[in-house]
């Protein structure tokens, strides 16, 4: 089976590379992936895989039914590009001014199409179902595309038993794959604070209520949330990124507005932070006589990889990857990933696919116009999806 998979992956890899370049050439922002959606549907039609489209506007859901009944394993790729100007100078660089695939979602879509073609050829030997999730708008925090896919019924008919997502990773060498049990990405929430006092002449503070002094106390006090209220072993970042207030040098400011973000891994801490923020703001504003408005916008939750699913997938991948190429990522990342919404609903795992050629010391990171994952990583990504899916079909049976 193993050499057969290798052979099938080798056969589809040139197509994966060609499709990735085609998608890269025509990038589309989240929820506008119409051409990308058409390309996916065209390829699924070519292979012969039945699908449902559109799902969540531009998404596509393919279904590979095995010969025997069994569990349903979902494989997910995101499809959208970023509002960033490409600077790679590649012959297949973005044709669209100011938009490019700087996060590698072109590669994810192409690799999932490659894995789909391999799994389709193996369908007579499969017990269970593979659900192919081509998802829009991963970059559209705080809503993302995954909640819309879930609302559009992807968890049903048949119900998904486990899911695998993946992302190219410039910090890892081509040929290596990282996995992790537990938190892999951070929750990314944002908040808005308005503090309102009372304007007065700058020479008569007793006649007003100074919103700037109150805001200053709030800023300092919220910094103690992470250091004094959160367990030292739990990670959290709390940043106030903007502050605006006051109109004139000799007027006591009536209003200050601030915006911030917080990032956490432990879902219990994610829940706790807005309560602690409001408690702190409320206390200080009450003491100073200001009123306040506090809005907390939930973004992507932290992506939690299920232990059992991750270990099953790792064991499956170990048939194709040497132990030194397949490793546990020691620390979670602080970035966001909307696959987390799916991982909240079904036990899931997420793989980081190394995409920097050996010897390159300072690779261009994702979300940079020069980002260009090594195309040699595609065969590894396809293999990982195929081996991971097979391992789960077998392991969950
Ligand atoms: Zn991204
Ligand atoms: Zn991404």
Q: Mean pLDDT throughout 104-124?
A: 98
The Å distance, Cα 366 to ligand 2 centre, comes to: 8
Quick one: which ligand is closest to 339's CA? Answer: 2
**Residues within 5 Å of ion ligand 2 by Cβ?**
103
Give the tokens for residue 168. Answer: 């190219």
List, in order of start, the domains of the chain with CATH numbers: 2-185+300-395 (3.40.630.10), 187-297 (3.30.70.360)
Residue 335 scores a pLDDT above 90: no
Q: Give the Å distance between the CA of 103 and the centre of ligand 1.
A: 5
Q: Measure 77 CA to ligand 2 centroid, in angstroms.
A: 10
Question: Has residue 187 got a pLDDT over 90?
Answer: yes
Say whether pLDDT at 1 is over 80: no
Residue 253 near residue 245 (C-beta atoms within 8 A): yes
Q: What is the pTM of this model?
A: 0.93
Percent of the chain exceeding pLDDT 90 equals 98
CA-wise closest residue to 185 among 321, 337, 330: 337
Q: What is the pLDDT of residues 43-83, one digit of tens each?
A: 999 999 999 999 999 999 999 999 999 999 999 999 999 99
User: Which 3-state string (H, E, C) describes the chain?
Assistant: CHHHHHHHHHHHHHHHHHHHHHHHHCCCCCCCCHHHHHHHHHHHHHHCCCEEEEECCCEEEEEEECCEEEEEEEEEEECCCECCCCCCCCCCCCCCCCCECCCCHHHHHHHHHHHHHHHHHCHHHCEEEEEEEEECCCCCCCCCCHHHHHHCCCCCCCCCCEEEEEEEEEEEECCCEEECCEECCCEEEEEEEEEECECEECCCHHHCECHHHHHHHHHHHHHHHHHHHCCCCCCEEEEEEEEEECCCCCEECCEEEEEEEEEECCHHHHHHHHHHHHHHHHHHHHHHCCEEEEEEECCCCCCEECHHHHHHHHHHHCCCCCHHHEEECCCCCCCCCCHHHHHHHCCEEEEEEEEECCCCCCCCCCCCCCCCCCHHHHHHHHHHHHHHHHHHHHHCC
Q: How far is the centre of ligand 2, averaged over its atoms, from the C-alpha of 220 (Å)? A: 33
Q: Which residues are catalytic?
A: 80, 138
Ligand 2 centroid to Cα of residue 167, in Å, is 6
pLDDT of residue 337: 96
Residues 185, 336 contacting (CB under 8 angstroms): yes
Region 94-119 average pLDDT: 98
**Phi and psi angles of residue 74, each rounded to the nearest 5 degrees, phi first:** -100, 140
Q: Tell me the pairing of strands 255-264 and 291-297.
A: unpaired
Helix crossing, 34-47 with 2-25: angle to 10°? 150
Q: pLDDT digit string (tens) for 158-181? A: 999 999 999 999 999 999 999 999
Q: Is the peptide bond before 141 cis (omega within 30 degrees of 0)?
A: no
User: Which tens digit of pLDDT belongs to each residue from 288-306?
Assistant: 999 999 999 999 999 999 9
- Taking the CA of 165 as reference, the closest ligand is 2
């Amino acid at each position: 089976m193993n050499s057969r998979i290798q052979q099938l992956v080798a056969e589809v890899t040139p197509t994966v590379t060609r499709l990735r370049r085609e998608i890269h050439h025509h990038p589309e922002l989240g929820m506008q992936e119409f051409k990308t959606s058409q390309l996916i549907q065209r390829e699924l039609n070519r292979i012969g895989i039945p699908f449902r489209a559109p799902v969540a506007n531009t998404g596509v859901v393919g279904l590979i039914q095995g010969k025997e009944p069994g569990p349903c394993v979902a494989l997910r790729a995101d499809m959208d590009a970023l509002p960033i100007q490409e600077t790679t100078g590649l012959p297949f660089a973005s044709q669209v001014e100011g938009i490019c695939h700087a996060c590698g979602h072109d590669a994810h879509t192409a690799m999932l199409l490659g894995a789909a073609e391999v799994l389709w050829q193996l369908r007579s030997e499969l017990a269970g179902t593979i659900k192919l999730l081509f998802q829009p708008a991963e970059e559209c925090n705080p809503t993302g595309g995954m909640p819309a896919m879930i609302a559009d019924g992807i968890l049903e008919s048949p119900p998904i038993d486990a899911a695998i997502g993946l992302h190219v990773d410039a910090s890892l060498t081509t040929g290596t794959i990282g996995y992790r049990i537990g938190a892999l990405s951070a929750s990314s929430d944002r908040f808005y604070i308005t503090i309102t006092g009372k304007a007065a002449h700058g020479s008569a503070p007793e006649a007003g209520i100074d919103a700037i002094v109150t805001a200053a106390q709030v800023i300092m006090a919220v910094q103690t949330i992470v250091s004094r209220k959160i367990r030292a072993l739990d990670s959290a970042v709390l940043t106030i990124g903007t502050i605006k207030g006051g109109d004139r040098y000799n007027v006591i400011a009536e209003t200050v507005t601030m915006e911030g973000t917080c990032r956490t891994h432990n879902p219990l801490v994610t829940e706790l932070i807005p309560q602690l923020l409001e408690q702190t703001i409320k206390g200080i504003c009450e003491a100073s006589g200001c009123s306040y408005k506090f809005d907390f916008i939930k973004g992507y939750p932290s992506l939690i990889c299920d232990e059992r699913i991750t270990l099953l997938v790792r064991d499956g991948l170990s048939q194709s990857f040497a132990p030194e190429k397949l490793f546990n990522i020691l620390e979670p990342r602080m970035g966001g990933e909307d696959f987390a919404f799916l991982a909240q609903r079904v036990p899931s795992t997420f793989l980081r696919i190394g995409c920097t050629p050996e010897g390159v010391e300072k690779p261009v990171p994702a979300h940079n116009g020069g980002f260009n994952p090594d195309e040699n990583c595609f065969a590894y990504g396809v293999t990982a999806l195929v081996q991971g899916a097979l391992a789960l079909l077998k392991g969950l049976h």
